[in-house]
Structure 1
Amino acid sequence: MTEQTLADRIGLAPEPAMPQHPDVPTWRMATPEDIDAMHGISTAAGRVDHPTWSMPREDIADTFEMSHIDHSRDTVIGFAADGTPVAYGSAFVHPSRDVRVQVDIAGEVHPEWRRRGVGTQVVQWQYAQAVRRLAESGSTLPGTVRAYAEGANDDAAALLERHGLRVQRWFTTMQRDLSEPIPARETPDGFVLVPYSSERALDALEARNDAFRDHWGSLPSAPETWQKFVGGPFLRPDLSTLVLDGDRIVAFCLGSVNEEDWAALGASHVYIDLIGVVRSHRGRGLAPLVIAESLRAAAAAGLEKAVLDVDTESPTGAHSLYESLGFVATERERVLVREF
């Protein structure tokens, strides 16, 4: 018996109609010339939805250079009659298709244009495009449409739920005051602590994909995406720590610094992007060891706080680990998913 493809399971998935709204007469597909417009919308939205951090312009610009993203078909942007950028929405297929085909939808409506039905139009287009992209994949793997909504943005969550997405997970932002003592931890015999360095980029990618293979919602990071992260302007190798077993990276704590966010948070800080231990080396105390070393490096660099995000239901007990290291929960974000 032939296994059903996503197209079989989804059924008809036509090209979505462009959004229509009386206050937003112009809608078109995004081009590189729209990077500043998208960043402006994102920055304004961020002041309302997540006031302690902002989306760097570089992150948006990077997406126009990635081979798996085609904004000319997967991002729509809308303008008011006077040319003011109002909203944009994207639907990107994740480059990894080993486990499932996943389409991530993301976008923003400028706060001054909310509560007029603009977001309804954007999400309708995004969802239709995401389903279309799943159907045309030809895959027999499971298909997923995924989106994030900040804890304070119930309106965005409600729009997504109208299309069958449901909250599957909550992530919590946690902060630690670096003026508080950081307990010393002894490195177990046979292991070495070293700062991250660019020549270890591919080894770090291998460790990341191993460590996150059994984490909820995680897919392998592709080399192109990984290089944008580790080779970008924000990663701080001096605040990022690796644990080596011989030449192999078995644990890591990678941190970045975006000084534009310091005023929003009210403190200079390092954002801890990734913490992980490869599966063969868990249960040896390497996670608190590598985190503590990065915290000490950040404190020595004169930074005031450390910030990270954690899955509140992580089976590794990460939330409790971070609390034991002095982190305190602040904001929340939900992940909504629909599966096919």
Structure 2
Amino acid sequence: MYENSSSLSWRPLAVEDAKAAADLLNAMETVDGIGDYYTEEDTLQELVDPYAELERASLAAFDGDVMVGYMKANYQPGAEEVHQVYLDGGVHPAYRRRGIGTALLTAGVAAAKELHERYHPALKLVVDAKRGEHIPGVAELFRAHGFTPARYFQHLEHPLGDAVPGAAIPGGLRVEPWSEQNDDDFRTVRNESFQDHWGTAPMPVDSWRSNVTNHTFQPAVSFLLREVATGVPVGMLVTKSWEADTAATGIRDANFFIMRTLREHRSRGEARALVGHALRAAAAQGYSRASVRVDSASAAGAVGVYEEAGFTLKMRLVRWALEV
């Protein structure tokens, strides 16, 4: 069934696989170099995602007790018109070119179709996966399964230190740090601002808590922009940081995970002010670097905002898509 892999065992992922999954992802990172190291807690967080049905929509390959490859599909709970199912996964560098990736991707597409039929059968299905542009064999694998490049994402970095720009907050607005009291305002801005953003759907509370304000969330470097007169939240920036990355590289990175402003508040300097404010906060709190991954075709012009703030391009990632 799988070329040169008859000795492997195959089964769905389970929450007990968190350490094995972290070990696999870290082995991949040493070769692929996309800047993502994992702890067991990190992978456990992904395995307990409320929209990842492991028994129905995941598969892992094991050589003895060692996980050598996996795939996991996540569906969108609040899809409208188009339902995008996201595939995550990979193969251990020592086990590549054996047909494992082909088997996992085939299983991933089948799982995406099953999730789609279960939750959004009336909508159009698009199966998505994001991978580093530079990783050998990835383009050939996805093209062989009918995927095409749908979007490119830029990984940008900022050195902090003396390079942090000044950016005054526009008049009539104020910046607030994240708190339990304004947490839902952050989520509201995210959902409302992403209505015209490619490949997104409203994020419910359970998904927000699982994927955003989890153990990697950095509340002291996450800020809300609010109108003083009306009290309406109009922008937000959420920062995350991964202990595994710091341990592996010695660099404490402030990742600007989400930064959005409402459509009617774009091109007024709000986004630049938020980014500048967060950069100064990160530098003051001892972070070594800031980073962000941005859609190259962002309708909000996010790439330009970050470049003006001093971020530079380090890597590109491809969003592969299969329309079913």
TM superposition score normalised by structure 1: 0.88
Query: Aligned match of 2:297 in 303, 313, 329?
Result: 313
Q: Is the 8 A contact 1:171 1:332 kept in 2?
A: yes
For 1:222, the equivalent position in structure 2 comes to: 204
Query: Aligned match of 1:248 in 232, 236, 243?
Result: 232
What secondary structure is seen at the aligned counterpart in 1 of 2:78?
Answer: coil
Which 5+ residue runs of structure 1 have no aligned equivalent?
1-17
What secondary structure is seen at the aligned counterpart in 2 of 1:66?
Answer: coil
Q: Is the 8 A contact 2:222 2:237 kept in 1?
A: yes
Q: Is the 8 A contact 2:130 2:317 kept in 1?
A: yes
CA 1:35 to 1:147, structure 2 compared with 1: closer, same or farther past 3 Å?
Answer: same
Query: Aligned match of 2:187 in 191, 205, 213?
Result: 205
Which 5+ residue runs of structure 2 have no aligned equivalent?
none
- Listed one character per residue, the Cα deviations across residues 177-216 of structure 1 (whole Å, up to 9, x for unaligned) are 1113433222222211111112212111110011122112
For 1:138-153, list aligned pairs within 5 A.
139-153=121-135
User: What is the aligned residue count?
Assistant: 322
Q: Is the 8 A contact 1:52 1:264 kept in 2?
A: no
- Listed one character per residue, the Cα deviations across residues 78-121 of structure 1 (whole Å, up to 9, x for unaligned) are 112x3322111122222222232221111111111112221111
For 2:87, the equivalent position in structure 1 comes to: 105
For 2:306, the equivalent position in structure 1 comes to: 322
Please state how far the C-alpha of 1:137 moved relative to its aligned partner. 4.1
Q: Is the 8 A contact 1:24 1:78 kept in 2?
A: no
Say which is worse superposed, 158-167 or 325-334, in terms of deviation: 158-167
For 1:243-322, list aligned pairs within 5 A.
243-245=225-227, 246-322=230-306
Q: Is the 8 A contact 2:160 2:289 kept in 1?
A: yes
CA separation in 2, counterparts of 1:66 and 1:88? 16
Query: Which amino acid in structure 2 is aligned with residue 250 of structure 1?
Result: V
For 1:84-233, list aligned pairs within 5 A.
84-137=66-119, 139-233=121-215
Please state how far the C-alpha of 1:266 moved relative to its aligned partner. 4.8
Query: Which amino acid in structure 1 is aligned with residue 13 of structure 2?
Result: A
Query: Which amino acid in structure 2 is aligned with residue 41 of structure 1?
Result: L
CA separation in 1, counterparts of 2:207 and 2:3? 33
What secondary structure is seen at the aligned counterpart in 2 of 1:180?
Answer: helix
Q: Is the 8 A contact 2:3 2:99 kept in 1?
A: no
CA separation in 1, counterparts of 2:232 and 2:175? 12
Query: Which amino acid in structure 1 is aligned with residue 219 of structure 2?
Result: P
TM superposition score normalised by structure 2: 0.92
Say which is worse superposed, 225-234 or 192-201, in terms of deviation: 225-234
Q: Is the 8 A contact 2:175 2:224 kept in 1?
A: yes
Q: Is the 8 A contact 1:52 1:265 kept in 2?
A: no
Say which is worse superposed, 203-212 or 26-35, in terms of deviation: 26-35
Query: Which amino acid in structure 2 is aligned with residue 31 of structure 1?
Result: A
Please state how far the C-alpha of 1:305 moved relative to its aligned partner. 1.1
Q: Is the 8 A contact 1:89 1:126 kept in 2?
A: yes
CA separation in 2, counterparts of 1:22 and 1:101? 33
For 2:216, the equivalent position in structure 1 comes to: 234
CA separation in 1, counterparts of 2:73 and 2:298? 26
What secondary structure is seen at the aligned counterpart in 2 of 1:213?
Answer: helix
For 1:42, the equivalent position in structure 2 comes to: 25
Query: Which amino acid in structure 1 is aligned with residue 317 of structure 2?
Result: E
Q: Is the 8 A contact 2:170 2:273 kept in 1?
A: no
